[in-house]
Structure 1
């Protein structure tokens, strides 16, 4: 079936415009941090916002007011958590992870196991950053947002000092 009624199509059009404008305003007021990808918590909020917007658009059982309240609630919660984590080390540790060194002059297998990352994934990250193999790489770090950073020269903090997760030789 192509569609049920013209009303359904017009409802989606009206709800879509209203919800989209409201979401843009909420995101503008709440700041850039709301849709950042600094950690897994940020990613979850971004997905939840998209899911909520889709529900507002497609579910005839959700009113515009309910959908806007849900969007505002998610944005407010994200703002609150970001505000609290920027002022409290305890809250920051609760919602954020630390970067993990996975490769430095060889694979750090203990850290790789803890982070559930394979050697092939590290090799892929090296190739994606333009390096034929890991011999050209000083270090690979799993960042708090889940991306792999490939460093071509070791930062001063990594030069010479053993790091957590180093396997004894």
Structure 2
């Protein structure tokens, strides 16, 4: 179907304008962390916000008030969980995965690869993406809590104190 009627078009535009304006307001109140991509919980919230916005715009069974209430709930929960994770290490442990070394000092941790379900080929691709042609030139590959990879040169890891790696699990 290409076109139904103008009323449905104007409904989507009107609801879209209102929902977008309120979403921007909620995100400003919720702070920058609301849409941060620091962990799986953040990702789920971001996807859910997008899904609700899409349902407001294109669905006919969801009212603007219901959609706005759902958006407000998600932003409030994200804000509450972020605050709680800052205040409590146990809450932080529940919501956030720990970053993990997949390679350290030029040596691949096969157990970490298996535990994190990363293939050796995936690891090699990440190393190449980091601009390295030799594993021996890599000091560390870290699988971050948000699922991204960081590749650090051997030179960068050739120091006694590596404070940025303090929370990375072996």
TM-score (norm 1): 0.90
2:56 aligned with 1:52: no
Task: Tell me the distance in 1 between the aligned counterparts of 2:127 and 2:169.
Answer: 22
Task: Tell me the distance in 2 between the aligned counterparts of 1:123 and 1:134.
Answer: 8
Q: Give yes or no for contact 1:56–1:63 (8 Å, CA) kept in 2.
A: yes
Aligned to 1:15: 15
Q: Give yes or no for contact 1:141–1:148 (8 Å, CA) kept in 2.
A: yes
For this pair of structures, how many residues does the alignment match?
161
Task: Tell me the distance in 2 between the aligned counterparts of 1:46 and 1:64.
Answer: 19
**Could you say what the CA RMSD is over the residues aligned between the two structures, in angstroms?**
1.5
The CA deviation at 1:135 is: 2.1
Report SS of the residue matched to 2:107: coil
Aligned to 2:165: none
The Cα offsets for residues 18-37 of structure 1, whole Å up to 9 and x where unpaired, read as: 11111011001110000001
Task: Tell me the distance in 2 between the aligned counterparts of 1:47 and 1:4.
Answer: 28
Report SS of the residue matched to 1:61: coil
The Cα offsets for residues 73-108 of structure 1, whole Å up to 9 and x where unpaired, read as: 000010010010000011000101111011012110
Aligned to 1:79: 79
2:128 aligned with 1:124: no
Unmatched 5+ stretches in structure 2: 163-167
Q: Give yes or no for contact 1:16–1:57 (8 Å, CA) kept in 2.
A: yes
The CA deviation at 1:164 is: 6.1
Question: In structure 2, do the counterparts of structure 1 residues 103 and 95 end up closer, same or farther at CA, with 3 Å as the change threshold?
Answer: same
Which runs of 4 or more aligned residues in structure 1 lie more than 4 Å from their structure 2 counterparts after TM superposition?
none
Report SS of the residue matched to 1:138: strand
